[in-house]
Amino acid sequence: MKQKAAAVLLVLSLSSGLVSTVQADSSSGSTAASTAASTAASTSVTSTAAATSKTSSVTGQVLPTLTLKQAAEWAQTNSYNTRTAERDVERHRMELKNAEKDLGNAFVDFIDGEYVDDNTSWRSYNSSTLSYLASKKQAQFAKDQIYFNVMKSYQSVFVAENQVKNDLEALEIAQAEEKIALAKFARGKLSEYAKNESTQARSQAQQTVEQGKIALQKSRDALNFLMGQPNGTAYELVDRPVYKEPKKLDIELHIQQLTDMNPNLWKLEDSIKTSELNVRYFDFNSGAGAYDLAKMDVDTAKEELAKGQKDFAESLRNLYATVKENQKKYVQLEESLRTAKEALELSRKKWARGLIIETELKNNQLKVNQIERQMEELAIELDQNEYTLNKPWST
């Protein structure tokens, strides 16, 4: 009877509130957690259009629009890992229900003045409890990973589009410079070598544009793959990240809170509990030496947990330092943009008076555009930093 009481205490320590959880899962018949739609609400991206509306792309094509929420939902539906994780939850739930039934039918005998129950049933129940809880953690873990992968692929399309825009503007300048060079050469005011250099620069700019378009389609296809859409499918992505200054964060408190939520650390804790079960229900027919090894497994599991917690905390501190560094970079880019705009305005006045050629004006406009796109790409990086800082196990 003492042994049964000890086992009950162990079960309570492993699965507080588990009975109500299992009953809720059983009545619903589903183990799917909240979808990526709720996760999307936590990011700094705001949806600006429905997925059925139309708009124009950087290449001039009219494309159907796609929100990050819709992309994540399609990817979750298409994900093999998500489906497998949900099936595992259901399977482990059923195993736990069966273990509960076996526990109720466990053999009990009266030996040496005490009631003694079947250790095998308790061990099976405790093991099933751990497996069920672990599978639920893993299911949410899979969803978080899929969402982050979609976010990165979705936002990488913006980066590729920006590169194409930069390349097209650079090509326009190269074409204008070539036109000037050809006119000068025709009047004998430019050497053939200089003319050929200008033509080569324009040709290289054209090649760069084509390479950029290929890279853009590859980015789109990477997103298509996650969503289960055919290669070559193009969407106008409407959820462009907007820079928001991150809130001040007590990183040490944040680490403490996330340590309890981290599924990777939960697995290490699960290893400790499993090792402790092996000691508690050890079959001494295996020999005393094997028992010592079982106890060593507990110590090893505890050391691995301590190391995992330390590494996790350090990774979060490093990530937070990166966030703060990116904030500084954004402020510096704002100052660079201000200076570039002043130079652009001055060049416009000079061009209006005929003091400079048009290509100089276009070069100053290109500098402004490039800085703005750099700022957008840094906003993308900060958006992903924020998500990772709150769900570091998703990377």
Position 60 scores a pLDDT of: 59
Give me the residue label for tokens 């200054």: 245
> One digit per residue, pLDDT tens: the chain, 395 residues?
334 434 333 333 444 444 344 444 444 444 333 333 344 333 433 333 333 333 344 555 688 999 999 999 999 999 998 888 888 888 888 888 888 887 765 444 433 444 345 566 776 777 788 788 888 888 888 899 999 999 999 999 999 999 999 999 999 999 999 999 999 999 999 999 999 999 999 999 999 999 999 999 999 999 999 999 999 988 899 999 999 887 889 999 999 999 988 888 888 888 888 788 777 777 666 666 777 788 888 889 899 999 999 999 999 999 999 999 999 999 999 999 999 999 999 999 999 999 999 999 999 999 999 999 999 999 999 999 999 999 998 88
What domain count does the chain have? 1
Residue 247 lies in a domain: yes
Range of the domain at 309: 241-395
d(CA 311, CA 365): 46
Which tokens hold the place of 294?
A: 């079982």
| Number of neighbouring beta carbons within 10 Å of residue 171 | 20
CATH number for the domain that contains residue 279: 1.20.1600.10
pTM for the whole thing?
Answer: 0.72
Output the pLDDT for position 43: 40
Longest dimension (CA), the chain: 118
Please enumerate in sequence order all residues whose Cβ is within 8 A of that of 26, keeping only pairs 6 or more positions apart, or say none.
93, 97
pLDDT of 248: 84
Instruction: Decide if 271 is inside a domain.
Output: yes
Give domain status of residue 53, yes or no: no
CA angle (101, 107, 110) in 5-degree steps: 145
Inside any domain, residue 294: yes
309 in any annotated domain: yes
Say if 304 falls within a structural domain: yes
C-alpha R_g of the chain:
31
